[in-house]
């Protein structure tokens, strides 16, 4: 057993050394066979190719599962500055790392029409995930809808949720000027 552990340690050290090597040499030995090594060849060898590497890395981007879910089932949140329900709805999506389109129907007449068509009323929050909609906020139901669409349960590594900011309320219309009394005749 100790012998196997020693072999494993040697192999692991060899692999780690190769992964962190910054130079690779290529030459042909005396029989004309190609040789690759991270060690410089003997001084007698001619025509040595030397490559310098910056190290290996993995490109970081949007996780595959998240990208597929987003493409197949985009998420839209209809919410306003309605208070705790809308704040918790945004918080759930942001904490889970889900990209979503945040639409405030109070600030956009077209959004009001779309929400009315979608739910038959103008109550918020409403979650739309692909073709599924959830009217009103209930965390368990929202989580289940996102799970069915294939969204990851946890955000990608290094993801930091943005602070939840409530949707900007629609501007309040200016009061109409009070009518002037008609002049006496």
Nearest to 167 by CA among 96, 98, 95, 111: 111
> Which helix (H) or strand (E) element contains residue 129?
strand 126-129
pTM: 0.57
Of 92 and 176, the structure prediction assigns the larger pLDDT to 92
Of 46 and 6, the structure prediction assigns the larger pLDDT to 46
Q: Tens of pLDDT along 114-172?
A: 999 999 999 999 999 999 999 999 999 999 999 999 999 988 777 776 655 444 444 44
Q: Tens of pLDDT along 64-99?
A: 888 899 999 999 999 999 999 999 999 999 999 999
Which residue ranges form the domains of the chain, and what is each CATH number? 9-52 (no CATH), 64-148 (3.40.30.10)
Give the three-state DSSP class for 69: helix
Q: Tens of pLDDT along 7-24?
A: 444 444 444 444 444 677
Residue 99 contacts residue 146 (beta carbons within 8 Å):
no
Give the three-state DSSP class for 35: strand
């Amino acid at each position: 057993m100790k012998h196997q552990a020693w072999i494993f340690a040697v192999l692991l050290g060899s692999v780690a050394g190769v992964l962190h090597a910054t130079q690779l040499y290529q030459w042909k030995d005396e029989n004309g066979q190609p040789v690759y090594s991270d060690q410089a060849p003997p001084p007698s060898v001619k025509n040595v190719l030397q490559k310098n590497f910056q190290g290996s890395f993995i490109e970081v981007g949007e996780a595959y599962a998240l990208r597929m879910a987003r493409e197949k089932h985009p998420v839209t949140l209809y919410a306003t500055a309605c208070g705790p329900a809308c704040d918790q709805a945004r918080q759930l999506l942001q904490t889970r790392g889900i990209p979503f389109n945040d639409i405030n129907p109070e600030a956009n007449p077209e959004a009001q029409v779309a929400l009315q068509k979608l739910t038959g009323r103008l109550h918020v929050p409403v979650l739309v995930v692909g073709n599924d909609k959830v009217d009103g906020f209930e965390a368990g139901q929202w989580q289940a809808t996102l799970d069915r669409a294939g969204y990851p349960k946890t955000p990608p590594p290094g993801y930091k949720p943005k602070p939840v900011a409530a949707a900007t309320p629609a501007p309040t219309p200016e009061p109409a000027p009070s009518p002037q009394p008609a002049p006496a005749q």
